[in-house]
Amino acid sequence: MYFFIEPMRETDVSRVQEIERQSFTTPWSATTYLRELRSPEYSRYIVARSSRTRPRDEQLPEPEPRRNWLANLLPARFTTPVTPSPYPVVGYGGIWLTVDEAHITTIASAPEVRGKGIGELLLNGLIDLGLELGARFMTLEVRVSNEVAQNLYLKYGFEARGTRRRYYTDNNEDALVMWTGEITAAEYQTRLRQLRTILAERLKKYAEETT
């Protein structure tokens, strides 16, 4: 099974909502997603897709010089397709840009692919979107009880720098507010390349084992 990232299409919203209902207790409405997709200057949304065979060349971004196997699974540029995709959505994520901060608004993967690296692949796609929009920092909120997600964010340089009390309306749980350092800094870019090399090998191995 291969996985790759594309910009979210309006035709993806119903599937995105299905995954969201399986992941969160307070899902967004379809209207909210459509509004977000129609404001690409301030917000960007992506989906992870799966394929039993390696997608056709035109379905993947054109490789750039020295781009590794993982980079070929990420969009080389953000252009929202119009026609429906033949590849099913297995995850999604999005960001808002505020001045020089890219705020991760949502990220989730379908239950059947959790633990396969999809969330990490999506996180890489969101970091790339932040860089494309000119962000210097990434930020997000995460439930204090969600240690799995926190560990992923810590691996990618996010640090807990505050708490929002009773942030989640379903159970009044607190949220940790996490931030990265400068994502444009050479040190962070080196760390990102190292992590992507590891993730690329993981996804490549899974693809070889399941196809």
Give the active site residues.
Answer: 141, 153
Which residues is 159 bridged to in the sheet? 179
Which residues is 106 bridged to in the sheet? 94
| Integer Rg of the chain from CA | 16
What stretches of the chain show up as alpha helix (H) in DSSP?
13-23, 30-37, 118-132, 147-155, 186-210
Q: Can you tell me whether residue 193 is helix, strand or coil?
A: helix
* 159: phi then psi, degrees, rounded to nearest 5: -130, 140
Task: Copy the structure tokens of residue 36.
Answer: 């977000």
What's the CA gap between 137 and 189, in Å, rounded?
12
Q: Can you tell me whether residue 83 is helix, strand or coil?
A: coil
